[in-house]
């Protein structure tokens, strides 16, 4: 496994409560893609913000929620802890309007990512549709009996292409668990897999996804690894992988990689988020 470059993760933390854009830390996407056998032509990383706060021009605290959409083709990703610290630096910073906050975050993120990000902020009680929890569409493949999993080491060889009918179906699991590559802390996600091609054996797919239980990788890297393994080993015609990770530090992260033309609006908020 490639050794990650130094990040703020796992280090003693200094919290800033006045605007500090230098806290944003870019990580090159290329580092996580070096060993992949297949990459998706379309994709986004959608981040939801739940704990943004700042001061208005009368020095009164205000709260907001929001979304950040990053194209999967950006040269960089942003290390998640650095984003949390950066957003925290707005706490005692005065702004005239919520639009001013939105424009500043968009400017700073775009400069760090190397591509234009999309940022949308909302008043806390506005109830935007993208924050409404939904049940993830697809057939549930989670197995609770009848199968024994004996090895949780990452194992793409569990994916075997069988003779069978050609189908288009959408599958899902609530049980993906991976580890932060720096701290070893667990990350949990619901995963949706949409594909066209020879039918996938559901039990083998479930076993493969569970083999990532002790795998270390950033959220974006894990989704791209799943996409690469399924596409290259099962020779699928088209594939889409979405992972909706539960939040940490007031942010949830939702990478989507697809052969289908997709939009960020297809990334739902799941019940655990």
Query: pLDDT value at position 226?
Result: 98
Report the domain count for the chain: 2
Low-confidence residues in the chain, pLDDT < 70: 1-12
Residue 211 CB partners (closer than 8 Å, separation 6+)? 151, 152, 153, 154, 155, 156, 158
Q: Are 77 and 69 in contact (CB under 8 A)?
A: no
The verdict on whether 237 is a catalytic residue reads: no
Domain boundary pick from 78, 106, 131: 131
Tell me the residue range of the domain where 222 lies.
134-270
143 and 247 fall within a common domain: yes
d(CA 69, CA 5): 24
166 and 223 fall within a common domain: yes
Query: pLDDT value at position 6?
Result: 55
Q: Is residue 12 part of a domain?
A: no
Domain boundary pick from 131, 158, 189: 131
Domain boundary pick from 82, 101, 131: 131
Quick count: other Cβ atoms within 10 Å of Cβ 150? 5
231 and 257 fall within a common domain: yes
Query: pLDDT value at position 5?
Result: 52
Q: Is residue 92 part of a domain?
A: yes
Query: pLDDT value at position 150?
Result: 83
The verdict on whether 187 is a catalytic residue reads: yes
- Of 45, 69, 108, 187, the catalytic one is 187
Query: pLDDT value at position 7?
Result: 60
Query: pLDDT value at position 197?
Result: 98
Q: Is residue 15 part of a domain?
A: no
d(CA 268, CA 273): 10
222 and 170 fall within a common domain: yes
User: Residue 16: enclosing H or E segment and its boundaries?
Assistant: none
- Of 69, 180, 222, 244, the catalytic one is 180
User: Residue 209: enclosing H or E segment and its boundaries?
Assistant: helix 202-210
49 and 88 fall within a common domain: yes
139 and 125 fall within a common domain: no
Q: Is residue 7 part of a domain?
A: no
CATH number at residue 198: 3.30.1130.10
125 and 66 fall within a common domain: yes
């Amino acid at each position: 496994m490639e050794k990650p470059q130094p990040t703020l993760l796992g280090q003693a933390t200094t919290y800033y409560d006045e605007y500090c854009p230098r806290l944003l830390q870019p990580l090159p996407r290329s580092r996580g893609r070096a060993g992949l056998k297949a990459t998706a032509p379309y994709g986004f990383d959608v981040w939801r913000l739940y704990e943004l706060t700042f001061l208005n021009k009368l020095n009164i605290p205000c709260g907001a929620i929001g979304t950040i959409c990053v194209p999967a083709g950006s040269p960089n990703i942003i290390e998640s802890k650095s984003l949390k610290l950066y957003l925290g630096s707005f706490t005692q910073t005065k702004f005239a309007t919520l639009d001013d906050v939105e424009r500043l975050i968009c400017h700073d993120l775009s400069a760090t990512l190397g591509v234009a990000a999309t940022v949308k902020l909302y008043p806390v009680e506005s109830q935007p549709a993208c924050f409404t929890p939904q049940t993830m569409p697809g057939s549930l493949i989670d197995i609770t009996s009848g199968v024994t999993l004996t090895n949780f080491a990452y194992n793409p060889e569990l994916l075997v292409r069988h003779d069978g009918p050609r189908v288009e179906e959408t599958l899902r699991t609530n049980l993906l668990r991976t580890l932060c590559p720096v701290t070893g802390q667990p990350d949990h996600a619901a995963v949706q897999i949409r594909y066209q091609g020879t039918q996938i054996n559901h039990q083998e797919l479930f076993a493969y996804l569970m083999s990532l239980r002790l795998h270390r990788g950033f959220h974006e890297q894990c989704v791209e690894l799943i996409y690469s393994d399924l596409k290259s080993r099962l020779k699928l015609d088209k594939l889409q992988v979405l992972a909706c990770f539960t939040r940490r530090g007031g942010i949830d992260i939702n990478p989507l990689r697809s052969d289908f033309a997709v939009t960020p609006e297809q990334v739902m908020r799941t019940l655990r988020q």
